[in-house]
Amino acid sequence: MYRPPFGRREDPHGQVDGDEAPPANFEQFQRASAGAPWLATGIPPWQLWGNIEVITGNFGGVNNRTSGKQLNKIAYKRPDSWHFFFTARLIDAPVAVNNTIQISFDLILGAGRASVPIPAFVLFDFTYAGAPFPTFTKFASQGVGSDPIGGTGQSIVAEIPASDIQVQANVTNFFGPGPAIVEVGGFWAPKNHIRPDWFLEGQPKETMFAGSETEGR
């Protein structure tokens, strides 16, 4: 079988099977605070793509709601489709004859020139009677749309198209008063993690990889 020499392509638009690869030329990665200002704080911008938060509420009555801090914040600067995974676990909960503690995840989505709030995109209900309260972890990688499709069933949302995403978790105690401590988690990943600076050939490495991608964080 004929194999063209390295540097010649039968297909100018792609790799030809059997082509030899050039020798690797690794260079030591150097940080650049000017090109990556977040490195001065030690917190990469994708640090909040995954996060766990503990929300504590001392409910004095029924239907009291406590909101957590910002659970996730994504500023990707370009639109993509995002997979997500939410978790919730009771650490401590009121003891009552019948009780329900609900955890909701509110979203703010942004792309282009628009942003929209999505309240209660994912809901978890812990319903129990007396003690002990359930301690298992609830989780979901899909949300439910506000309107059913075709009048039957529910519209399931498994991906989020956005360039900016903010998430806040909330805890509501529907029955007996008392303290409640809930651990919530939010995890996000883009379907296509392609950064334009990867293709800046001939530029210094600290410019090409300004976000420490070479370190696998």
CA distances in angstroms from 135 to 13, 22, 57, 63, 75, listed in the order given: 55, 55, 17, 21, 34
Chain Cα centroid distance, residue 174: 28
HSE-CB at 159 with a 13 A cutoff on CA atoms is 9
Q: CA nearest 65: which of 17, 101, 11?
A: 101
Q: Rounded to whole angstroms, how far apart are CA atoms 54 and 160?
A: 25
d(CA 64, CA 58): 9
pLDDT range class, residue 99, cuts 50, 70, 90: confident
- Which tens digit of pLDDT belongs to each residue from 117-141? 999 999 999 998 878 889 999 999 9
User: Long-range contacts: 139-144, Cβ < 8 Å, 24+?
Assistant: 139/85, 139/86, 139/87, 139/88, 140/85, 140/86, 141/83, 141/84, 141/85, 141/86, 143/84
User: Which of these ranges, 30-39, 121-130, 158-167, has the smallest mean pLDDT?
Assistant: 30-39
Whether 172 has a pLDDT exceeding 80, the answer reads yes
Domains of the chain, with CATH numbers?
A: 51-146+161-192 (2.60.120)
**pLDDT tens for residues 50-92?**
999 999 977 666 667 889 999 999 988 788 999 999 999 999 8
147 band by pLDDT with thresholds 50, 70 and 90: confident
| Residue 189 in this model has a pLDDT that exceeds 90 | yes
Q: Which residues, listed in sequence order, are joined to residue 106 by a DSSP beta bridge?
A: 168
Phi–psi pair at 197, nearest 5 degrees: -70, -10
30 pLDDT band, cuts 50/70/90, is very low
Q: Is the dihedral of CA 43, 45, 51, 57 positive or negative?
A: positive
| DSSP assigned state of 97 | S
In this predicted structure, which of 118-127, 166-175, 205-214 has the lowest mean pLDDT? 205-214
Which whole number is the average pLDDT over 200-214? 59
pLDDT value, residue 61: 62
Asked if residue 85 lies in contact with residue 160, where contact means CB atoms within 8 angstroms, the answer is no
Confidence of residue 200 (pLDDT cuts 50, 70, 90): low
Q: Give, rounded to a whole angstrom, the gap between the first and last alpha carbons of the chain.
A: 43
| Residue environment code for 22-37, b if the CB has 16+ CB neighbours within 10 A, otherwise e | eeeeeeeeeeeeebbe
Helix (H) or strand (E) holding 205: helix 205-208
Pairing mode, if any, of strands 64-92 and 99-111?
unpaired
